[in-house]
Structure 1
Amino acid sequence: MMAHDRLSADELYDASDLDQYDFPKYTTQLLNLANQNSQATRPKVVGQMSDLVEETDARTFAEWKEWYVRRHPDAIQTAKEKVKSHIEKLRRAIKKIDEEMIEAWLKDLILVKTAEGLLIQRAILEYLSDEKDISWSLSTPEEEAKGVDGYLNGVAVSIKPESYKSKTSVQNEEIDAVLIFYKKTRKYIHIEYDESAFL
């Protein structure tokens, strides 16, 4: 039986410890993008948070803030300068976006990139099916939503561009399928896979 309980958060969340800021709409999205692109809060700048929390004996946010600032006195200012610099780049870029650019971006996304990815997936499935003399099929929309792009010899596979490996947003993503990576050049589609997984 699943147990349910609760503990008081009063001591942990002392209102006097927290700096409350009312961020206007859309600003946090831009700040997150600037932070991601500038790598302002990477461990080399602000420290590895999971390790730092384990190191400290802090039990409240006040204790944590005091301990962190003592250990990393310049971290927040260094991160701020990195984010600030990238926000300026975003400001300049946004000024260049007009109706013509929006339409060109949508055409590239809808007519080129989306279709290209799907056509590459089908080509890889057909190629491996022919090379290994095994069956292949595409996934259903419901399966695709779970990250499954198709099947080889009845085994679910997920076909991703090589850049997928380095994306921080998906490093902890769990896909119940064999991963096949590809890199597209002008003449070839290079693929990387564990052939034993579906043979």
Structure 2
Amino acid sequence: MKKTLSPGAWKKTAFPKYTTQLMNLANQTAQGTRPKVVGQMSELFPQYRRSTEKPSVEGWEQWYREQNPEAIERATDKICGQMDSLKEAIRLIDRDMIRDWVEDLVVNKTYQGLYYQQLILEEIAAERGESWRLATPEEEAQGVDGYVGEEAYSVKPSTYKSMDRLPETLRGKIVFYRKNAAGELVFEVEEQLKGGRR
């Protein structure tokens, strides 16, 4: 069955090139559009839809502002503060710093991440009495870092737990690792999440 829907018109706001990327970055750090600041949209929008027989973007805007009169200003303030911090940081960045960052990413962080993956997979395999292997490039593209026996694993730093949206879909069992105060590698295995984790 094929159908065509006409959802109606809405406001289109034009932004200069790169500005939305920077505002998104500032918002990710400031968490300006989190539900505790602007409300839980998946609950608010259905409430609005139940309140009218003729939904429109103008109607939604009016309803939302009545329900949350300070929300947009609170979110704007949080993001503006973070944007000011980003502007200061951008002024510090030069070619030498960029080169240092690229080198740190490509050499140090790649070595650390891949070395930790190997250590963790080896440890899990030893505990289970099974063989292990790193993922192929094709398997990596599907969010798998390695296998112990036939079980797929994604091995990630514990910072992934706090991300609103992961940069990739993780498949199989998920292993989160961190270094403790003594410099030891600590990891925990989470059970497989249906459909992966995004």
Query: Is TM more than 0.5 here?
Result: yes
Q: Distance in 1 between the 2:100 and 2:175 partners?
A: 30
- Structure 1 residue 175: Cα displacement: 3.2
1: CA distance between counterparts of 2:129 and 2:56?
61
Q: CA deviation at 1:89?
A: 0.8
Question: In the superposition, relative to structure 1, how do residues 194 and 70 fare at CA in structure 2: closer, same or farther (>3 Å)?
Answer: closer
Q: Shift in Å at residue 176 of structure 1? A: 3.1
Give ranges in structure 2 of 5+ residues lacking alignment. 192-198
**Aligned partners of 2:142 and 2:169 also within 8 Å:** no
What letter is aligned with 2:43?
Answer: D
- 2:37 & 2:86 partners in 1: Cα distance? 21
* Structure 2 partner of 1:82: 78
1:94-131 residue CA offsets vs partner (Å, 9 max, x unmatched): 00001111111111100001121011101111122223
Q: Which of 164, 167, 186 in structure 2 is aligned with 1:168?
A: 164
Q: What TM-score results when the alignment is normalised by the length of structure 2? A: 0.87
**Counterpart of 1:164 in 2: which secondary structure?**
helix
Aligned-residue offset at 1:174: 4.8
Residue 104 (structure 1) aligns with:
100
Taking only aligned residues, the RMSD between alpha carbons, in angstroms, comes to 1.8
Structure 1 unaligned blocks of 5 or more: none
The reply on whether 1:179 has 2:174 as its aligned counterpart is: yes
| Greater Rg over alpha carbons, structure | 1
Give the whole-Å Cα distance in 1 for the aligned partners of 2:46 and 2:179: 43
Q: What is the aligned length?
A: 186
1:8 pairs with one of 6, 9, 24: 6
CA apart distance, 1:194: 5.6
CA contact (8 A) 1:121 1:159 kept: yes
C-alpha separation in 2, matches of 1:131 and 1:148: 20
Structure 2 residue aligned with 1:146, among 142, 151, 158? 142
| Pairing 1:1-199 to 2, within 5 Å after superposition | 3-9=1-7, 12-13=8-9, 18=11, 20-56=12-48, 57-58=51-52, 59-170=55-166, 174-185=169-180, 186-193=182-189
